[in-house]
Amino acid sequence: MPIPPILDVFVVWHPDDAIGAERFAELHEHFHSPAFSGLAGGAVEVYARSDPWDDGGPPRPLGIATPLGEGLPTAQFNAIVPIIDTNLLRAAAEAANPWNTYLREIAELNQSAGVGVYPVVAKGLQWGTSIVNQILGGIQTLPADVNTDAGLFGRELAQAITQQLQQEANFPARLTVFVSHTKHRSSEEASRSGPAMFERVRDHIQQSHLSAFFDAQDIQPGGDWERTLKDAAGSSALLMIRTDVYAAREWTQREVHAAKHSGMSVVCMYALTAGEERGSFLMDHVPSVVCDLADPDPGVALALNRLVDETLKNTLWQAQTSYLSEDGFDWLPAQSPEPTTLAPWLASHQETQPDDKHLWIIHPDPPLGPAEREVLLQLCAVAGHDVDVDILTPRTFAARGGALKT
């Protein structure tokens, strides 16, 4: 199951600028986090470009316009992150300096399909009159605050990459967060001072570079929320604010169900005060973040960070499915299958392919637990698929040698 790389991230900095190594380490950790580990192997990689390739020269070529060697394919999408600090400004100040040429080549690549350049400028650096500004100044830089907040750095870059990928796929250019919440509050929540949790989330989103969120609770009765979610699934993500009575509300259940059915990224932020009378099976099986009600801001930021990562992961998974589908899989969901999503898919599959004798499903890692898998197999059996059923992940598929049952 050889799959070409989907996303390569190149961090470029002058070796005498210390912040470059720090930003590289942060991105390396970010893109090797659990959020992206479920993709097929080699989907995302982060490379350093700093040490001279020749004596005193710039770093190794990127290998984007021209492959570095035979058998080394270029990734489907390449993100280049120049880290701009004092020594880079000095090195590129002269036209004859190899660093000047290297940066100009990066600027030219920014005009290519499948390539994005996202400069980071050292905080407080005055570079407006520099040669580097003449070369890269026309490209939107990431916010200066990413130099002091690794989580924000990962989110800003992941969001920028996601938006460019979606724009190239003719989706809306801005990532929209749908905030699913209830304005009803338990007696314990009502007794607490301060704004409601959804208002804190709204403030965070309005201060970010995310698109203005869509407040689902403002839709009037009769509004086609399910159609709205389905239409926006390619460029949106849903954040659950799971307060005490959230899971029991009919409208929030509908929102989460519609989001899952549409294939949207979903993250749950737990913000319980007294707890729930009962949960809902519709709400689980998604990444979750805990929000400390005594100090909610870090939890809200973490939830938004994870939501953007999940959206990028979904986008990259869709790019990988064009290769995985060649192996004969029937369904390639971006989230682990569950009864909520498997049941409607089985109904649709039976309607469109009534004579299909096998059922082969692959989803991102980690694999389902034995008990989870047993429930899904029982559901498949009820639908008439009780012989040739495979539910795999890239890791378990590769361990089998990249072959399905025949």
pLDDT score at 299: 96
Provide the CA 354 distance to its chain's centre, in angstroms: 35
Mean pLDDT of 29-54: 90
Confidence of residue 405 (pLDDT cuts 50, 70, 90): low
pLDDT score at 235: 62
Average pLDDT along the chain: 88
- Give me the helices (H) in 33-172, please: 34-37, 86-91, 98-109, 131-136, 150-168
Provide the CA 7 distance to its chain's centre, in angstroms: 12
pLDDT tens sequence across 152-195: 999 999 999 998 888 877 766 678 888 888 888 887 877 776 77
Mean pLDDT of 61-80: 85
Percent of the chain with pLDDT over 70: 91
Q: At what angle do helices 150-168 and 296-324 cross, to 10 degrees?
A: 40
pLDDT tens sequence across 254-309: 889 988 988 889 999 999 998 998 899 999 999 999 999 889 999 999 999 999 99
Mean pLDDT of 363-369: 94
Residue 392: exposure state from Cβ atoms within 10 A (0-12, 13-18, ≥19)? buried
- The domain defined by 176-321 carries CATH number 3.40.50.10140: yes
Mean pLDDT of 55-59: 80
pTM of the entire predicted model: 0.91
The residue whose two tokens read 């009037």 is 220
271 phi, psi to nearest 5 deg: -135, 55
pLDDT score at 172: 62
pLDDT score at 5: 85
Confidence of residue 146 (pLDDT cuts 50, 70, 90): very high
pLDDT score at 93: 94
Q: Which of 44, 47, 20 is nearest to 32 (CA)?
A: 44
Q: Which of 282, 259, 241 is nearest to 334 (CA)?
A: 259
Task: Classify residue 337 by its DSSP letter.
Answer: -
> Domain map of the chain by residue range?
7-148, 176-321, 328-399
Q: Which of 364, 390, 366 is nearest to 377 (CA)?
A: 390
The answer on pLDDT for 134 being more than 60 is: yes
pLDDT score at 379: 94
